[in-house]
Amino acid sequence: MSNPSLLILPGDGIGPEVMAEVVKVIDWFGDKRDLKIDVSHGLVGGCSYDAHGTPLTDETMARAQEVDAVLLGAVGGPKYDDLDFSVKPERGLLRLRKEMDLYSNLRPAQCFDALAEFSSLKPEIVSGLDIVIVRELTSGIYFGEPRGIIKEGNERVGINTQRYTESEIARVARSAFELARRRSNKVCSMEKANVMESGILWRDVVQEIHDAEYPDVELTHMYADAGAMQLCRYPKQFDVIVTDNLFGDMLSDMAAMLTGSLGMLPSASLGSPMENGRPKAMYEPVHGSAPDIAGQAKANPSACILSFAMALRYSYDQGDEATRLEKAVEKVLADGVRTADLMQADGGTPATTSEMGDAVIAALEASL
């Protein structure tokens, strides 16, 4: 049997720096755990625009469709702010999501004990927090038609359309219920059924799928604005939250900040099963390209390393090795190794990006 495959797309800003640390981790698993992965590399985002005039070439898109998993760093930066909308770095990312049909975006927000003090909330509210936001990723207002900026009389009108079909809602609901069964068996669905028809349909379909297929899972519904408030007030009431593309974008940034640092959070975007039974998949850190610190060895590679752990679990059937890697990151934090994002201003000299990566490798060694 051939080795499993991975396409690495480091992207822009701190993407290449954090990805270099993940490559060390991948090599370690190859050498020490005999887990050989065929790795190929490509461009996405601004760097692809610089090289090819497009944020994602057809060749790279085709390669992404072939591999077992894609690992993406981050895209975008101020250098590309004035580009035409159609070739902005983010369009490359959105094209990958849409054409691979990665409808279920898992965004865990987990608070590491060692970092509870960094949260903007009181430690007792966030310590032990472990929730997952399941964000619908291929539809809704991000992709709905009509869209655009048109002229009406003598003024311009900006238009985007929130649109969800029953089947789009049903499939992401199933993925949330399946995940909940492997966790605490609790799902909270969030929409704005009080003001949006698409929200009414969302609530109905989630409830129907629940009643017909997952009656054992505890299901609640919340308006998304109230959900944001509850996430701040008492986040540990949640286990799995399922929501649409735009609400999921905002709620996941908020949930991420509860944990103390965006630099720690991974994500998985999953689609339908391929011929080998595994889902189409792309993994990426929740943080962005952080142009303000790019090239300064300040970035925290943990989120990208933990994204690879999710790939081990969901794409390569290596749950035990995924846990080994997650525990290694946790140990590094518990030992007090800190990149700049995890330190107070007067906290001493922070670890560099590669020192953090090396510490993870050392913790992996110690796990053998």
Q: Is 244 a catalytic residue?
A: no
Q: Could you say whether residue 244 binds ligand IPM (CB under 6 A)?
A: no
DSSP state letter for 273: E
**What's the CA angle centered on 205, arms 200 and 210, to 5 degrees?**
130
User: What is the C-alpha separation between 176 and 246, in angstroms, rounded?
Assistant: 17
Q: Is 321 in the site for ligand IPM (CB under 6 A)?
A: no
Residue 90 binds ligand IPM, judged by CB under 6 A: yes
The answer to whether residue 93 forms part of the interface with ligand IPM (CB under 6 A) is yes
CB of 302 to Mg ion, least distance (A): 18
**Smaller CB separation from ligand IPM, 90 or 178:** 90
We find the least distance from the C-beta atom of residue 27 to ligand IPM, in angstroms, to be: 27
Residue 136 binds Mg ion (CB under 5 A): no
| Backbone φ and ψ of 320, nearest 5° | -65, -40
**Pick from 17, 136, 244, 249: which binds ligand IPM (CB under 6 A)?**
249
| Contact flags string 240-259 toward Mg ion, x per CB under 5 A | ---------x----------
Least distance to ligand IPM from the beta carbon of 60, Å?
17
Question: For residue 249, what are its two tokens?
Answer: 């974008």
Rounded-to-integer distance, Cα 129 and Cα 241, Å: 14
Nearer to Mg ion (CB atom), residue 68 or residue 249: 249
Say which of 68, 239, 249, 341 is annotated catalytic.
249
Catalytic residue (one of 192, 280, 298, 331): 192
Q: Which of 38, 225, 292, 317 is catalytic?
A: 225
Does the active-site annotation cover 36? Answer: no
Q: How many residues sit close enough to ligand IPM to count as binding (CB under 6 A)?
A: 3
Active-site residue, 24 included? no
Query: Would residue 216 show up in a list of annotated catalytic residues for this protein?
Result: no
Is 81 a known active-site residue? no
Among 294, 295, 297, 275, CA closest to 353: 297
Cβ-proximal residue to ligand IPM, closest one: 90
Number of alpha helices (DSSP H) and beta strands (DSSP E) in the chain: 12, 12
Identify the three-state secondary structure at position 289.
Answer: coil
Contact residues for Mg ion, defined by CB under 5 A: 249
Catalytic residues: 142, 192, 225, 249, 253
Contact residues for ligand IPM, defined by CB under 6 A: 90, 93, 249
